[in-house]
Amino acid sequence: MLSKGLLFQYSTDRIKGQLLDWSKRLKIIKGLVEGLVYLHKHSMLHIVHRDLKPNNILLECDMTPKISDFGSAQTLCSDVTEERTSRVVGTSGYIAPEYASRAVYSLKTDVFSFGILVLETISGRKNTILDKRGDTVGDLVRDAWCLWKDRRLHELVDPSLGNRYEVAEITRCAQVALLCAQEDPADRPTMTDVAAMLSSESMRLPMEPKQPAVLSEGSAGEDTYMSQSSRTVDITITSSATVLTRVRIIVDPEV
């Protein structure tokens, strides 16, 4: 199937973003959930991607998402394992706080990045980290939490969607995204939990997202970018398959 492009070409572009109605955006969100559940649980390797961002999400012509670029990926010995690295890689706005500050990563690192991707898909905005003010989660997360708390989530929605969306679906997706983007990884759900929460409208969400920490006084810092030169691993994640086929994963060990 031919590629439609990368998610970043649509998620914050005012013109291309109009091509993504709410049903397509919801399909992308649920497709990413299925892919991450496979990586974290069903692959039996407990793969953590560590650099989830719109640039690494390929969209097929039917808007089925595929997770790509596994050059920073690592495997864990269990789904609750935390590892420390001497080489932090990732992109400001998507990188989990504990990974950015303490170089500690786990499956919950991907959960945080997923939460940011969902908020961007809903809002058409980028998440900016205000480094010089001690920011750990980003302005989009803070704004989304305030709007959710005040029951004004309609103000978060990408204007290009107009009124063509289900309020209940937007609200549930945004609340789940905020749970995923919690500062403490212990407060974040697993991707299996996320799949359950998004698959049933009648399921009561188990908790409410905590308020992000208050920013310190000072000027906003510039975005930072941390990356490395790495190979892309051949892997395909599709939202229609429960089991991957013809997958080749080659992950370089940490040094």
Rounded Cα gap, residues 67 and 75, in angstroms: 16
The two three-digit tokens of residue 224, written as one number: 């930072």
| Rounded Cα–Cα distance for residues 103 and 30 (Å) | 29
Residue 98, C-beta contacts closer than 8 angstroms, at least 6 positions apart: 104, 105, 109, 185
Q: What are the Cα distances from residue 86, in Å, to 31, 75, 105, 110? A: 32, 16, 11, 18
**Facing residues of 57 across strands?**
67
Q: How far apart are CA 23 and CA 180, in angstroms?
A: 21
Please say if 51 is a catalytic residue: yes
DSSP assigned state of 13 = -
Burial environment of residue 168 by CB neighbours within 10 A (0 to 12, 13 to 18, 19 or more): exposed
Region for residue 25 given its phi and psi (left: phi exceeds 0; alpha: psi -120 to 50; beta: otherwise):
alpha
- Catalytic, out of 51, 135, 139, 158: 51
Name the residue with tokens 């229609």.
240
Residues classed as catalytic: 51
